[in-house]
Amino acid sequence: MLKILLPVDGSDNSDKTIGKFIQLLDWYKEKPELHLLSVQYPLDGNISLFINQSDITQYHQEEGLKNLQSARDLLDQAGIPYQHHITIGDPAEMIVRFAVEKQYDQIVMGPRGQGGIQSLLLGSVTNKVMQLSSLPVLLVR
């Protein structure tokens, strides 16, 4: 079975990507195994000097679940099974690393997420994932 990684960031663009991808699932010969991924930026500075690690971990979990919620709702409404994951680090690097380590067959992303200026052709995370990944990356608009 084909394993597909769908990185999401909780943005409207991310939700549009999930919605469009749901419509494209008929492209696949058999239903793929879908995995949502939220990558949380690490907290800056020496925050761990002031806040204990379990609180930091809980914060990343809560923020990750917030970012995943609308994508999860869309997949739930469509009756499509999925798994979800949360990781911490540079988004593009963690998406590619996670995809390789967990042996996904494809990464599906939108051309833009929350980041930066909307007039850019590709978001910086998407662009970097395409540069770093040896796996196929499907852009859904």
Is it the case that residue 114 has pLDDT exceeding 70? no
Q: What pTM does this model have?
A: 0.89
- How many structural domains comprise the chain? 1
Distance CA 99, CA 95 (A): 6
**pLDDT tens digits, one per residue of 39-96:** 999 887 777 667 878 888 899 999 999 999 999 999 999 999 999 999 999 999 999 9
Among candidate residues 105, 94, 78, the one with its CA nearest the CA of residue 24: 78
Among candidate residues 7, 1, 64, 65, the one with its CA nearest the CA of residue 36: 7
What is the token pair recorded at 63?
């923020």
**pLDDT tens digits, one per residue of 14-33:** 999 999 999 999 999 999 99
Residue 82: which CATH number? 3.40.50.620
Distance CA 73, CA 94 (A): 24
One-letter amino acid for residue 14 of the chain = S
- Residue 103's domain comprises 3-139
